[in-house]
């Protein structure tokens, strides 16, 4: 059996998106990879907070006044976001955008109505015929979930084109299928260029959220885009969370749940057949701690304390 493999990367979704696919014929693989990139572009156009023409911007501009109809892709992401918000009692919440704007992680749009500061995910109403209404003056950001969805859809395109095996990695949110077990390397939060082989993945998704590329000082304190929606405060620094789930959208969103409350995440992740691991670098002790949530119903396991992995 002949094997054609193509591996490409393009700047999309604010990061580098890498697609790799195996098939029997080079032209077919190239076409599939091109189509998969096109799908990622389509998701970006619909769900970007920055793009004034996106569904998200249309919701933010108008949906507090009147229901806004959205594309089916956007609808599926909103629906999943609301399910995860419900299951986690608001530890995941797509209405944290005003906090992200205040922290400087999202731009201020002059034509969005000023958010009232009242209300949360429960005031995002998904109506018939894919229409969205905001029962308060809210501002939505799908940045915590849409990248995972884009990965899932790209994988879907590759599968429908008959690829034997493939993987899509959108800057750390990745999904694989068809290959033998592959090692997933996770970046060490205290030294992100150190890649640690912690998991073997054969089928499914992994998504990591951490603050090592984004944390910044603001008015004398550290802020990160990982927000606890209940308090509007950034989650503790120096922690990296990776969630494994059958699909990447779920994995992506659940990383925020674990960041906001690792203890409550123990009961929430099994509802989505998800597993997780956390890395925490302790600068004082110069150790990296690994915690895993590998079995449903069991608490976090501390596996080892890694010494001397840091390069001086």
Partner 1 sequence: MRIVFVATAAVLAPVAAFAVDYLSAEQAFKLMFPDADHFEPREFPLNAAQMQELEAQGVRARSVHWTVSVAQRAGAPLGYVVVDNVIGKSELITYAVGIGLDGAIKQVEVLSYRESHGQEIRLPAWRRQFVGKTAASSLHSGDDIANISGATLSCSHVTEGVKRIVAVVALARRSGGLP
Q: Which residues bind partner 1 (CB under 8 A)?
A: 5, 7-11, 14-16, 18, 20, 147, 167, 169-174, 176, 181-188, 191-214, 240, 242, 244-246, 273, 275, 277, 290, 292, 294, 301, 303-304, 306, 309, 311
CA dihedral for 187, 249, 255, 103, sign (positive or negative): positive
Task: Give yes or no for a contact between 272 and 253, defined as CB atoms under 8 angstroms apart.
Answer: no
For residue 81, the 8-state DSSP code is H
Identify which of 131, 164, 36, 145 has the alpha carbon closest to the alpha carbon of residue 96. Answer: 145
Task: Give yes or no for a contact between 29 and 23, defined as CB atoms under 8 angstroms apart.
Answer: yes
With 0-12 / 13-18 / 19 or more C-beta atoms within 10 angstroms meaning exposed / middle / buried, residue 66 is exposed
Distances (CA, A) of 270 to 110, 295, 298: 41, 9, 10
| Shortest CB 306 distance to partner 1, Å | 5
Task: Give yes or no for a contact between 31 and 25, defined as CB atoms under 8 angstroms apart.
Answer: no
Distance of CA 135 to the CA centre of its chain: 26
| Shortest CB 147 distance to partner 1, Å | 7
Nearer to partner 1, 68 or 290 (CB): 290
Nearer to partner 1, 153 or 188 (CB): 188
Nearer to partner 1, 13 or 64 (CB): 13
Nearer to partner 1, 36 or 207 (CB): 207
Distances (CA, A) of 92 to 29, 48, 95: 37, 18, 9
Nearer to partner 1, 67 or 204 (CB): 204
Identify which of 171, 161, 236, 178 has the alpha carbon closest to the alpha carbon of residue 206. Answer: 171
For residue 24, the 8-state DSSP code is S
CA dihedral for 22, 25, 27, 31, sign (positive or negative): negative
| Shortest CB 87 distance to partner 1, Å | 18
Nearer to partner 1, 138 or 227 (CB): 227
Place of tokens 């915590």: 144
At 303, phi and psi to the nearest 5? Answer: -95, -50
| Shortest CB 149 distance to partner 1, Å | 15
| Shortest CB 11 distance to partner 1, Å | 4
Q: Which two tokens stand for residue 272?
A: 């989505």
| Shortest CB 259 distance to partner 1, Å | 11
Nearer to partner 1, 138 or 226 (CB): 226
Identify which of 167, 168, 213, 161 has the alpha carbon closest to the alpha carbon of residue 188. Answer: 213
| Shortest CB 70 distance to partner 1, Å | 24
Nearer to partner 1, 137 or 167 (CB): 167
| Shortest CB 26 distance to partner 1, Å | 12
């Amino acid at each position: 059996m002949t094997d054609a493999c193509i591996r490409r990367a393009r700047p999309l979704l604010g990061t580098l998106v890498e697609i790799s696919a195996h098939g029997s014929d080079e032209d077919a693989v190239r076409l599939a990879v091109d189509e998969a990139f096109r799908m990622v572009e389509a998701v970006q156009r619909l769900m970007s907070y920055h793009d004034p023409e996106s569904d998200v911007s249309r919701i933010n501009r108008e949906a507090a006044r009147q229901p806004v109809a959205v594309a089916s892709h956007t609808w599926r992401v909103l629906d999943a976001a609301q399910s995860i918000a419900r299951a986690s009692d608001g530890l995941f919440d797509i209405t944290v955008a005003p906090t992200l704007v205040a922290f400087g992680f999202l731009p201020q749009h002059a034509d969005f109505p000023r958010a009232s500061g009242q209300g949360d995910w429960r005031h995002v109403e998904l109506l018939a015929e894919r229409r969205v209404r905001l029962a308060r003056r809210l501002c939505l950001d799908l940045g915590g979930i849409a990248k995972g969805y884009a990965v899932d859809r790209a994988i879907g395109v590759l599968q429908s084109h008959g690829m034997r095996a493939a993987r899509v990695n959108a800057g750390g949110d990745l999904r694989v299928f068809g290959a033998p077990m592959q090692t997933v390397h996770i970046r060490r939060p205290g030294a992100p260029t150190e890649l640690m082989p912690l998991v073997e993945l054969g089928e499914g998704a992994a998504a990591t959220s951490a603050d090592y590329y984004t944390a910044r000082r603001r008015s004398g304190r550290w802020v990160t885009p990982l927000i606890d929606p209940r308090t509007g405060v950034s989650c503790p620094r120096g922690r990296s969370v990776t969630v494994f789930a059958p699909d990447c959208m779920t994995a992506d969103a659940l990383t925020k749940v674990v960041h906001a409350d690792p203890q409550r995440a123990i009961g929430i992740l099994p509802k989505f057949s998800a597993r997780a691991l956390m890395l925490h670098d302790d600068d004082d002790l110069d150790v990296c701690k690994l915690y895993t949530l590998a079995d449903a119903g069991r608490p976090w396991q501390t596996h080892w304390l890694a010494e001397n992995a840091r390069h001086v």
